[in-house]
Amino acid sequence: MSDISVEQTGLSGAASPDDGDPPAAARPAKTECRIAGAGRIRDMKDEAGEEPLQFLTFVLQKGLFAIDITTVREVLDDIRITRVPKSRPHILGVINLRGNVVSVTDLRRCIGMPSLDSPEDGCIIIVDVEENGEIFPLGLLADSVEAVVDLTDRDLSAAPKVGMNLRPEFTSGLAHIEDDYAIILAPDRILLSEELRTL
């Protein structure tokens, strides 16, 4: 089983209640960000000695999704997002990550789902995205994070060509996890798609 740390990081210079935001006690309870806890955790011991593939699973609008763990830096919980004027619609704002400004994107909106009512109720998955040979960090807002799972090639399959309300190029397939299936997303393809670039 693999663990990813969950950090509770405040934005430097975060606004006070006088700035118009409700005090913390008045905000709705946050969705717990759970990493490698109880739930959908599966440790694979392949008899043939096959090397397991690791994925981080998370929830978007009650659906189970996954991304390749090698692209994930960390998961943040209870962090303030600062809005940036004239940002693209899918960009929620920026966070201060140990002195580095990192953009946060609304993953729900990127794949055609309605946004969370309050982004602060979700978790931010920091991933590495590559563009023109340069790798940079980007935050993906998810409803909640489930677990790190170890799978083998036998647990993976191609996504169906019909019946999915999601563009095929945004996915890398399906992962069979216990009695459920997770849609494996390809963040690079989603975030660098021509559709999002022209918004």
Domains of the chain: 6-197 (2.40.50.180)
Residue 67 predicted with pLDDT over 80: yes
Give the lowest-confidence range in 27-31, 79-83, 137-141, 151-155. Answer: 27-31
Dump pLDDT digits (tens) for 154-192. 999 988 876 677 777 888 899 999 889 999 998 888 877
Residue 31 predicted with pLDDT over 60: no
Query: Do residues 144 and 132 make contact, with C-beta atoms less than 8 angstroms apart?
Result: no
Beta partners for residue 103, in sequence order: 94
Pairing label, strands 6-8, 72-77: parallel
Cα atoms found within 13 Å of the Cα of residue 71, Cβ hemisphere only? 22
Give the per-residue pLDDT at 196.
52
Tell me the percentage of the chain whose pLDDT exceeds 70: 70
Query: Do residues 125 and 68 make contact, with C-beta atoms less than 8 angstroms apart?
Result: no
For the entire predicted model, the pTM comes to: 0.74
